[in-house]
Amino acid sequence: MLANYIKIAWKVLLRHPFYTFITLFGISLTLTVLMVLTSFLDHLFGSHYPETSRYRSLYIQQMIQRDSARTSRNGGPMSFKFLTQYAKSLKTPERVSISTFYSTSNAYVGSRRIKLNTKFTDADFWQVTDFEFLEGKPYNEQTIAGGDHVAVITDDFKRQYFDNLEESAVGKDIEIENLHYKVIGVVKGSPVTRIFTYADVYFPYTAPKSNYQRTGFRGDYVAILLAKNKQDVPVIRTEFQDRINRIPMPAVSDGFKFDILEVPSEPYVENFIGMILDGGAGLRMLFFSLIAFILFMLLGLPAINLVNVNVSRIWERASEIGIRKAFGAPVRTLVWQFIVENVFITFIGGAIALILSFIIIKLINASGWIAYADLTINLSVFLVSVLVCLVFGLLSGVLPALRMSKLSIAEALKS
């Protein structure tokens, strides 16, 4: 039965090449955009280099302080001391890393200015992440305690800063913002979209201008809590929350008196969405409206278009519908047939889209549009794509199939 349906679907495709071209063009284009988008979302939120342990990590990105009347709000990253006291000392995590977000700096090679991003980290940063050291090694507790002026740089920065790329950069001197540092390691860079790990140059937190000794709650630091396994993640969240709840309130920090303190430790996706949702009702509405609009444009509009094409194609097959019904096909079976045919066509479009997506992703990765972009079509992207194909096929196939099912046999045979 299924083979019969697919045979028919294939023949229908071959019957009108122009119609088929329009249909497949629409499906492939839509699915290509969705697959590239899925790949990009996977790139943003998945566990990828150098954050390969994201699936068992929690992120502490900001604290929010509020007064009891909730009229004032103060929010942002935390001080190194705060995170050391409340996060670093947690019992359950395997490791806790404290670092800043990246900030911009300048370096000069002769008269040429290199714009770069720097980050201050602790030694555990190199343990919770999975950076590939191309040369040298990371700084350790001893280096940090000694206050050594050392740096780990990325391969891209090495290319920009040093003339001789064949020679090792380890042990060489770099000058950033008039301060000299000795390169102790070269890593393969992290994409700019991974804000917890991205930078061009990494300094120990004891390096100048890190503000790690700042007192008070607020500062420039964030933390990554690495659990031993996925099951420990909720335990760590609870443990951290207990610590935060024990901070006596009201408290004063940087002259701001607050009664409510929120410091969420969240998985990466939750943390990312939390940033948007915390922006107030207006921003939240805008975010969800935008998502609804994008989904409608990407999935709804082409599906409606395909519905119209399918309806006109179904009328062409009125005689076939009449015959099948006359010889005993129940309405439900025919609806199923048209849905199967439509899903089959969608999957052909999906296969074309997969090839197109693969090419586009290669182009994006090679373009340098996102530094160190590593978009891929991995298993999860592929499975999501298959699911999208299925939903799209059902969405565009059900309505024509239902309209067809209302066709009377006698009328269908007259056509």
Partner 1 sequence: MITLKNIEKVYRTTRIETLALTNINLSIAPGEFISIMGPSGCGKSTLLNLMGLLDEPSAGQVQIGGEVVTQYRDRELARLRNRKIGFIFQSFHLINDLSVIDNVEIPLLYRKGDAVGASRREMAREALEKVGLSNRMKHFPGQLSGGQKQRVAIARAIVGRPDIILADEPTGNLDSAMGNEIMNILQQLNAGGATIVMVTHDETMAKQTHRLIRLFDGALVGDSVLARTDD
Q: Which is nearer to partner 1, 218 or 317 (CB)?
A: 317
Retrieve residue 341's tokens.
């045919």
Q: Which is nearer to partner 1, 133 or 315 (CB)?
A: 315
Q: How far apart are alpha carbons 332 and 330 in whole angstroms?
A: 5
- How many residues bind partner 1 (CB under 8 A)? The answer is 25
User: In the range 321-380, which residues lie near partner 1 by CB under 8 A?
Assistant: 322-333
- Rounded to the nearest 10°, the torsion over CA 409, 410, 412, 415 is 170
- Can you spell out the DSSP letters for 178-202? TEEEEEEEEEPPPPTT-TTT--SEE
Least Å distance, CB 351 to partner 1, is: 22
Q: Which is nearer to partner 1, 6 or 311 (CB)?
A: 6
Least Å distance, CB 415 to partner 1, is: 10
Q: How far apart are alpha carbons 206 and 415 in whole angstroms?
A: 84
Q: How far apart are alpha carbons 244 and 246 in whole angstroms?
A: 5
Q: What are phi and psi of 260, to 5 degrees?
A: -120, 130
User: In the range 234-293, which residues lie near partner 1 by CB under 8 A?
Assistant: none
Q: Can you say how many angstroms the Cα of residue 114 is from the centroid of all Cα atoms in its chain? A: 28
Least Å distance, CB 12 to partner 1, is: 7
Candidates 3-11, 28-36, 231-239, 349-357 — which segment interacts with partner 1 by CB under 8 A?
3-11
Least Å distance, CB 322 to partner 1, is: 7
Least Å distance, CB 23 to partner 1, is: 16
Residue type, 3: A
Q: Which is nearer to partner 1, 2 or 260 (CB)?
A: 2
- Can you spell out the DSSP letters for 300-364? IHHHHHHHHHHHHHHHHTHHHHHHHHHTT--HHHHHHHHHHHHHHHHHHHHHHHHHHHHHHHHHH
Beta bridge partners of 65: 74, 261
Q: What are phi and psi of 32, to 5 degrees?
A: -60, -50
Q: How far apart are alpha carbons 122 and 95 in whole angstroms?
A: 11
Q: Can you say how many angstroms the Cα of residue 298 is from the centroid of all Cα atoms in its chain? A: 18
Q: Which is nearer to partner 1, 92 or 405 (CB)?
A: 405
Least Å distance, CB 307 to partner 1, is: 22
Retrieve residue 199's tokens.
């930078």
Choosing from 8, 311, 351, 360, the residue that interacts with partner 1 (CB under 8 A) is: 8
Least Å distance, CB 326 to partner 1, is: 5
Q: Is 2 exposed, middle or buried (0-12, 13-18, 19+ CB in 10 A)?
A: exposed
In terms of Cα–Cα distance, which of 254, 251, 243 is closest to 87? 243
Least Å distance, CB 266 to partner 1, is: 52
6 contacts partner 1 (rule: CB under 8 A): no
Candidates 114-122, 356-364, 377-385, 402-410 — which segment interacts with partner 1 by CB under 8 A?
402-410
User: In the range 301-330, which residues lie near partner 1 by CB under 8 A?
Assistant: 319-320, 322-330
Window 11-40: contact mask with partner 1 (x via CB under 8 A): xx--x-------------------------
User: In the range 85-124, which residues lie near partner 1 by CB under 8 A?
Assistant: none
Residues that bind partner 1 (CB under 8 A): 1, 4, 7-8, 11-12, 15, 319-320, 322-333, 408-410, 413
